[in-house]
Amino acid sequence: MTRRNFLKLGMGALGALAALEAGGAALLYLRSHGLEGAFGALVTAGRVEDFPTGSVTEFPDERFFLVRAPEGGFLAVHTRCPHLGCSVMWVPEKGEFVCPCHAAKFSLYGDHGKPPVSRALDLFAVKIKNDLVQVDTTSLSRRDAFAPDQLVHA
């Protein structure tokens, strides 16, 4: 194999790898935007005691994370990043939400860390009725930052 052929092969392999990475990022972006229109229900998440303090439980079909704060209150955090609309993921090892599209990080309460994100993750309304945690996915509450009064206590 000549040096020229070796370099062509190497550059072709690197180009193919770059195309795969770009395609994967594009699929993540399109997948998160393809999840529109499934809201509009009152979801019974479970009993209050089913969620230990400091826990995060994902409800993927309903597109929210139910956060039980260390203080005992509940938040229903939307899975969509307010910057580009990508689906965020909960990373338990780090104790934060991460957006795969631009590596934005959000605290346990959905509060943003630094640019490019300019505000916290949106919330769904939480109600506690007969010791059951209910989340209303019919409307989102946009917020700039976390405030303790956003927690719903049993």
Residue 40 has what pLDDT? Answer: 67
Claim to verify: residue 93 and residue 24 sit in the same structural domain:
no
Q: Which CA distances in Å does 71 have to 12, 54, 55, 154?
A: 54, 8, 11, 11
Claim to verify: residue 14 and residue 82 sit in the same structural domain:
no
Residue 31 has what pLDDT? Answer: 61
Claim to verify: residue 78 and residue 23 sit in the same structural domain:
no
Domain count, the chain: 2
Domain, as residue range, for 4: 1-34
Claim to verify: residue 27 and residue 96 sit in the same structural domain:
no
Pairing of strands 132-141, 42-47: antiparallel
pLDDT confidence band for 29 (50 / 70 / 90): low
| pLDDT 10s digits, 30-88 | 665 444 444 568 899 999 999 999 999 999 888 999 999 999 999 999 999 888 788 99
Residue 38 has what pLDDT? Answer: 45
Taking the mean position of all CA atoms in its chain, how far away is CA 70?
19
Q: Is the CB of residue 99 less than 8 Å from the CB of residue 83?
A: yes
Residue 30 has what pLDDT? Answer: 63
Claim to verify: residue 69 and residue 85 sit in the same structural domain:
yes
> How far apart are the C-alpha atoms of 97 and 86, rounded to whole Å?
12
